[in-house]
Amino acid sequence: MAKLTLNDLRKLRDEKQKTMAKRDPSHKDAQIIVGMGTCGIAAGAKETFNAIIDELDAKGITHVLVRQTGCMGLCHSEPTVEVIAPNMPVVIYGNVDAETGRQIVHAHIIGKTLVDNHICDKPAMDIVR
Amino acid sequence: MGYKQYILVCGGTACESNQGIALFNALKSAVISNGLVNDVQVVRTGCLGFCEKGPIVKILPQDTFYVEVKPEDAETIVKEHIVKGRVVSRLLYDKKQSQINVGIEGIDFYQKQFRIVLRNCGVIDPDKIDEYIARDGYKALEKVLFTMKPQEVVDEVSKSGLRGRGGAGFPTGKKWSFAAAQPAGQKYMVCNADEGDPGAYMDRSTLEGDPHSVLEAMTIAGYAIGADKGFIYIRAEYPLAIQRLETAIAQSREYGLLGKDILGSGFSFEIEIRLGAGAFVCGEETALLASIEGKRGMPKPRPPFPAVKGLWGCPTVINNVETLANIPVILTKGGLWFSKIGTATSKGTKVFALTGKINNSGLIEVPMGTTLREIIFDIGGGIRNGKAFKAAQTGGPSGGMIPPQFLDTPIDYENLGKIGSIMGSGGLIVMDEDDCIPNIAKFYLDFTVDESCGKCAPCRIGGRKLLDYLKKICNGDGTNADIENMQEISEAMARASLCGLGQTASNPVKSSLRYFMDEYKEHIDEKKCRAGKCKNLLRYTIDAAKCVGCTACARVCPANAIAGERKQPHVIDKTKCIKCGQCFEVCKFHAVNRA
């Protein structure tokens, strides 16, 4: 590694900041929660999870926290994905494959519109925090 | 393609000594064997502070916080948490929670904390300069070198109200301005990492967890005062901190953030590590400088102050590790921002190393003005085994004992001074009802007498005399005249000693005489030690009415001092008893009395 100039340092910081931001749970206002119980994983939740993270990366979105959780009880519609975003209703999407995962990023997170045909439920009151 | 999940393993000394390295390796191999190398990164970070429950493992971005993790648990964590997304509830701090997203918000320990100094500890991998840079590292240096004049840097630090965290609390900006005002020429910047208080480890943890913050701050200070050379004086008994510092210095040099013409600004700065042999007195600035020069570590009278005539006769600024770790944040966020945290005279935060009879021992950072009660009971989780709080010692052997009536006093430099203690470097040792105050004072004096360099008489002779009196009192031979003498000697030491070591060595005695006179009186007048710590004052007897003759005490007695027939009351032969207390511990019927 050669010695840095001021611009190199700034570039390096911006670049690394993106990778570090993924670790940082604060400063995030939206959450995408992927149901990863046995049912979810069997239905392909891992691929969905990875697709969502890759898509967020590709779009340079850092304010969304992607988490995983256990079975939400909607085993008939796995993989399920819950999205909590500001000024949007809390929604659980069902049958979310990798492609739909990417759609959620495009529509729900960026476009602030719901993704049709996959809305499964609003979370039960005991899940709503 | 990047990592999707992160496993952070605490790499502080406390956790590493608790199978932390084996755990780190086990996690790495579990990630490999489960085919997750490209998805999951295992990171070794600095101290997460919660040393009581170490080793700590944190999983991000879920922010799940696992405590007391053993190498055997690695496979389970990877298989359950990472692969299946199921929390391993038996490793959670609060075992009742079953949610996977249980982060540090769920733990009282972190609720009242405010992290400036420890901002990166437990977040970044201290061996990776890129991670420090990503967390706004070297941004302050960039700002300083390209947009500020040296004087502006000094002014900004002055404006922040930052005071030295090594103990005395001298305003950092003022110190810098003294050195900056000296005519241009060879000047030095020294980092005091000679942390010697028993029970204090905040500087070590900062260096282990975030070495670059100190390097950046030293470079900034060098620019502000006009120094081109810095020394880090660290004790050789901190091998992990030294190793991480060496790595950090090498990386900074490689990136051109240290060395000649930093970032093309024309400013040059070099840092060298100097190892100390571990003498407590070398934490005193003039003794520290003597040690760097290769001389015997003994203090010199001041003035001249080091800022005027320091290392090899050149103007030198000496700042403590924690003080320096504040600097980059002050310069990026501004002095005004910093000055809004804390109390009227003490700005910012303070890192404390919580130890002693406390549930959550560990490393914490709180805003100045936080009360002792919040620190001990809210963050520290209260006293172990539900015992009563007796006193807290701040400032290590140079501080005083703070009794329960001051639990609600906001902690800052002035308030601690008023109640007879000092801020010190930030060791906070908690004592409960089982601790004997004269005995603890004796422990501290034993330490300072040992560590006194012997140059000046008040410290050398006074400390020894104080220790003798304390030993006498703990042996049950004390008189009331001894107390008067101790008070007089304490006063003389504080006034006449050459350096901080002697001036403060009598603080444990002075403060304990002030607040715990009744305990001294008991030792002297009634020959009684209520905590049961002073062996010579103890009498063990067996209550014949309660003794059922189970023989447990007789079997455990190492001196064969207990006799009695089976199923008959036993008796202790006082001439043979060595007062080890084992009979007291072993008796299930509370028949052994200790008085």
- Residue A31's DSSP bridge partners are A65, A84
Name which of A5, A10, A16 to mutate to probe chain B: the one with the most chain B Cβ atoms within 10 A of its Cβ: A16
Indicate the DSSP class of residue A117. T
Q: Average of pLDDT values for B389-402?
A: 92
Are the C-beta atoms of residues A66 and A34 closer than 8 Å to each other? yes
Q: Average of pLDDT values for B164-178?
A: 92
CATH 3.30.300.130 fits B349-432, yes or no: no
State yes or no: cis peptide before B397, omega within 30 of 0: no
> Residue A1: is its pLDDT beyond 80?
no
Q: What percent of chain B has pLDDT over 70?
A: 97
pLDDT of residue A26: 63
Are the C-beta atoms of residues B45 and B121 closer than 8 Å to each other? yes
Residue ranges per structural domain of chain A = 34-121
List the structure tokens of B417.
């001074």
pLDDT of residue A27: 65
Residue ranges per structural domain of chain B = 5-107, 129-339, 349-432, 437-526, 538-594
CATH 3.30.70.20 fits B538-594, yes or no: yes
CATH 3.40.30.10 fits B5-107, yes or no: yes
Are the C-beta atoms of residues B218 and B324 closer than 8 Å to each other? yes
Mean pLDDT of chain B: 90
Q: Average of pLDDT values for B261-273?
A: 95
Confidence at A124, pLDDT banded by 50, 70, 90: low
Of A56, A38, A65, A77, the residue nearest B63 (C-alpha): A65
Inter-chain residue contact B62 with A67, CB threshold 8 Å: yes
List the structure tokens of B467.
């220790």
CATH 3.40.50.11540 fits B129-339, yes or no: yes
Are the C-beta atoms of residues B77 and B88 closer than 8 Å to each other? yes
Q: List alpha helices for B402-537, DSSP H.
A: 413-418, 437-451, 457-474, 480-496, 500-505, 507-515, 517-521
Give residue B509's identity as a one-letter amino acid code.
V
User: What's the CA gap between B485 and B59, in Å, rounded?
Assistant: 58
> Residue A25: is its pLDDT beyond 80?
no
User: What's the CA gap between B399 and B393, in Å, rounded?
Assistant: 6
Residues in chain B: 595
Helices B239-255 & B211-225, crossing angle to 10 degrees? Answer: 60
Of B205, B271, B272, the residue nearest B241 (C-alpha): B205
Q: What residue of A is the nearest CA neighbor of B266?
A: A5
pLDDT in tens, B52-88: 888 889 888 777 888 889 999 999 898 888 877 777 8
Integer angstrom CA distances of residue B388 from B317, B385, B401, B441: 44, 9, 15, 19
> Residue B383: is its pLDDT beyond 80?
yes
Q: What residues have CB less than 8 Å from A34, skipping those under 6 apart?
A: A40, A45, A48, A49, A52, A66, A67, A68, A69, A79, A80, A81, A96, B85
pLDDT in tens, B275-296: 999 899 999 999 999 999 999 9
User: What's the CA gap between B64 and B81, in Å, rounded?
Assistant: 9
pLDDT of residue B348: 94
List the structure tokens of B501.
């070591």
Residue indicated by tokens 């982060």: B103
> Residue B253: is its pLDDT beyond 70?
yes
Name which of B58, B102, B133 to mutate to probe chain A: the one with the most chain A Cβ atoms within 10 A of its Cβ: B133
Query: Model-level pTM?
Result: 0.82
In B108-160 the beta strands, taken as DSSP E runs, fall at none
Q: What residues have CB less than 8 Å from A9, skipping those under 6 apart?
A: B133, B138, B142, B255, B257, B263
pLDDT of residue B24: 92
> Residue B91: is its pLDDT beyond 70?
yes
CA distance A118 to chain B (A): 22
User: What's the CA gap between B121 and B210, in Å, rounded?
Assistant: 6
> Residue B408: is its pLDDT beyond 50?
yes
ipTM of the complex: 0.75
Chain B interface includes A79 (CB < 8 A): no
Are the C-beta atoms of residues B414 and B371 closer than 8 Å to each other? no
Beta-carbon-side half-sphere exposure of residue A78 (alpha carbons within 13 Å)? 22
Contact residues on chain B for A36, CB-CB shorter than 8 A? 84-85
Confidence at B129, pLDDT banded by 50, 70, 90: very high
Q: Average of pLDDT values for B493-515?
A: 94
Q: Average of pLDDT values for B576-583?
A: 90
Higher pLDDT pick, A39 / B23: B23
> Which of B61, B84, B130 faces A22 most closely, judged by CB atoms?
B61
Mean pLDDT of chain A: 80
pLDDT in tens, B442-496: 999 999 999 999 999 999 999 999 999 999 999 999 999 999 999 999 999 999 9
Give the pairing type, strands B592-594 and B389-394. unpaired
> Residue B153: is its pLDDT beyond 80?
yes
CATH 1.20.1440.230 fits B437-526, yes or no: yes
List the structure tokens of A17.
């900041």
Q: What residue of A is the nearest CA neighbor of B128?
A: A16
Q: Average of pLDDT values for A84-106?
A: 86
Are the C-beta atoms of residues B231 and B191 closer than 8 Å to each other? yes
Of B343, B346, B324, the residue nearest B271 (C-alpha): B324
Q: Average of pLDDT values for B14-26?
A: 87
> Which of A5, A16, A53 faces B263 most closely, judged by CB atoms?
A5
Q: Average of pLDDT values for A53-72?
A: 81
* B95-99, B205-209, B370-374, range with the lowest pLDDT: B95-99
> Residue B95: is its pLDDT beyond 90?
no
Indicate the DSSP class of residue A86. T
For B9, the 3-state DSSP assignment is strand
Terminal-to-terminal C-alpha distance of chain B: 70
- Topology, domain A34-121: Glutaredoxin (3.40.30)
CA-based R_g, chain A, Å:
17
Give residue B459's identity as a one-letter amino acid code.
C
State yes or no: cis peptide before B61, omega within 30 of 0: yes
Torsion from C-alpha of B168, B173, B175, B178, nearest 10 degrees: -160
Inter-chain residue contact A5 with B39, CB threshold 8 Å: no
CA distance A57 to chain B (A): 8
> Residue A73: is its pLDDT beyond 90?
no
pLDDT of residue B552: 92
pLDDT of residue A125: 53
